[in-house]
Amino acid sequence: MMKTLTLLAGALLGVTALASPLRIDVDARHDGPVLSRYLYGHFSEHLGDGLYNGLWVGPDSDIPTVGDGFRRDVVEALRELGVPVLRWPGGCFADEYHWRDGIGPRAKRPVRTNTHWGWVPEPNAVGTHEYFQLLELLGAEAYVAGNLGSGSVAEMADWLTYLTADGDHVLARERRANGRERPWKVAFWGVGNESWGCGGHLRPEHYADLYRRYATFLKAPPELAPLRIASGGYDALTEWTEVLARDVPKNLIDGISHHYYTLPTGDWAHKGASTGFPEREWIGTLARALALDEHIAAQVRVLERHDPENRIGLYLDEWGTWYDGDDPARPLYQRNTLRDALVAALHFHVFHRHAERVRMANIAQMVNVLQALILTDGPRMVRTPTYYAFWLHRPFRDARRLESRLRGVPRYRHGDLSVPAVDASAARAADGRILLSLVNLDPNRPQTLSVGLDGATAADHEAEVLTAEAMDAENRFDAPSAVKPRPLAVVQDGDRLRLTLPPKSVAVLRIRPSP
């Protein structure tokens, strides 16, 4: 009878069970570090139509809005997902942004040129007050990126004071005159962005000295003071982490940022297409997503040497896929497919593995730019496969990591590239459920898994899977539900669970253990 049920479970997914399933065993006896909710953070920059037209259309738009001009459909979709933190206003844009341009009556705000992203007019219609209104609409916390590249110490310090001062302070009075009575809480503050490149082309030693100066004057009431994040390196580069962890006094720094973008080819001149790509670019993308693990491990090793007390966190505040552009009229707009959902899930697993040091991660970006969760076209909106990868992993926020061991994992090979066919991450949710995130990287073959719990027995269980027939399956405006989570059959066989992962899939298994 059990064999029949197992075959039926496979048939429900249009696949057949394999004869020798691989095994995964989860240690439910020992809780590991907390998987911070901020590992599922977001990022929105003044870039293309990510902010304007994507998030904000203005109070006079025919598109339904909430607040002072934010798209109702987008805000509602993001509220359903849950946004723990939103980084703004950049990105490269942050180091040419002067915060006073974005306060006061909107009609009187200066129009400038966005020299980083297309030399287009920047109306400053979305500024400080609008950003914090968006946070309130989303229920998110603030991560402000300050202007070190072209701004002064006084300008950055005054912005934080404007946000957090109270009483009769001149900047508190100015904020009240602009419509906000109470101070805002600023959870995180970035001191510049990509200072090795668009943020000033600085040497790490020079930046470290500048950081010490800027951070000294970032002052706020203790209950409103942000954590201060230094601008770090990228990819495999460890020099910035080395210099900052060594040369900045520990009382001035709470974290170091790091950036990593996943390219199908690894070649910035010819990155690869977002759709219609060959299998070589499928495996190339996933292999480069997995490479993040060692890049982060290298940063962690540096931090362990200079900060054994584990005070300084690593903030991967820009990550995501980057393809050749899909629309020349929309800078960095790219279509989003099932492949992006797998990349997101693999990143979550990496963040979980390094949760002792990785305190935040912010996908680039929220709407209409790079690996977006939401795409818009005029009044139309669609949730992408990446959105649903985040959706499936909601229970992992603030869960505790559990160690797991995969055995018998086959390799997925294509040409000269090879990756493990399956990747996994386990945790215990706040409600006591045991969570297991699984990715089948192989686009051609299903994988049958036998799941065991050390120290617990499953009372009941449920699972969902995200998959599709094509590697580049996407949710289009005329077919918005092509790639969505659906139930995944799980069979209990004694003290183990059995399930079959379809090819190219992301699945999350939720297990309620017996009392």
Strands 434-440 and 505-513: antiparallel
Q: Which DSSP category does 357 fall into?
A: T
- Give CA–CA dist 129/145, Å, rounded: 15
Query: Maximum Cα–Cα distance for the chain, whole Å?
Result: 77
Q: Which DSSP category does 394 fall into?
A: G
Q: Which two tokens stand for residue 486?
A: 């659906």
- Give CA–CA dist 114/49, Å, rounded: 13
Strands 374-377 and 380-383: antiparallel
Which of 194, 242, 281, 474 is flagged as catalytic?
194
- Span 388-431, pLDDT tens digits: 999 999 999 999 999 999 999 999 999 999 999 999 999 999 99
- Give CA–CA dist 192/150, Å, rounded: 9
Q: Is 328 exposed, middle or buried (0-12, 13-18, 19+ CB in 10 A)?
A: exposed
Whether 4 has a pLDDT exceeding 50, the answer reads: no
Q: Is 194 a catalytic residue?
A: yes
Q: Is 304 a catalytic residue?
A: no
CATH number for region 2-32+401-513: 2.60.40.1180
pTM of the model: 0.94
Domains 2-32+401-513 and 37-260+279-321+346-396 share a fold: no
- Please tell me whether the peptide bond between 365 and the residue prior to it is cis, using omega within 30 degrees of 0: yes
What radius of gyration do the chain's Cα atoms show? 23
**Phi, psi dihedral angles at 262 (to 5 degrees):** -100, 120
- Span 210-228, pLDDT tens digits: 999 999 999 999 999 999 9
pLDDT of amino acid 325: 87
CB of 116 closer than 8 Å to CB of 95:
no
Q: Is 385 exposed, middle or buried (0-12, 13-18, 19+ CB in 10 A)?
A: buried
- Give CA–CA dist 97/273, Å, rounded: 31
pLDDT of amino acid 272: 97
How many of the other CB atoms lie within 10 Å of CB of 477?
Answer: 12
- Span 346-390, pLDDT tens digits: 999 999 999 999 999 999 999 999 999 999 999 999 999 999 999
Average of pLDDT values for 432-441? 98
Which of 122, 242, 318, 474 is flagged as catalytic?
318
Task: Residue 355: name the closest of 315, 320, 319, 317 by CA.
Answer: 315
Is the CATH number 3.20.20.80 carried by domain 37-260+279-321+346-396? Answer: yes
- Give CA–CA dist 39/358, Å, rounded: 8
Q: Sign of dihedral through CA atoms 119, 125, 128, 133?
A: negative
Whether 495 has a pLDDT exceeding 80, the answer reads: yes
**How far are the Cα atoms of 36, 168, 202 from residue 99, in angstroms, in the given order?**
30, 21, 23
Domain chopping of the chain, boundaries: 2-32+401-513, 37-260+279-321+346-396
What is the dihedral angle through the alpha carbons of 173, 177, 180, 182, rounded to the nearest 10 degrees?
30
- Span 188-203, pLDDT tens digits: 999 999 999 999 999 9
pLDDT of amino acid 358: 98
- Span 102-157, pLDDT tens digits: 999 999 999 999 999 999 999 999 999 999 999 999 999 999 999 999 999 999 99
pLDDT of amino acid 20: 54
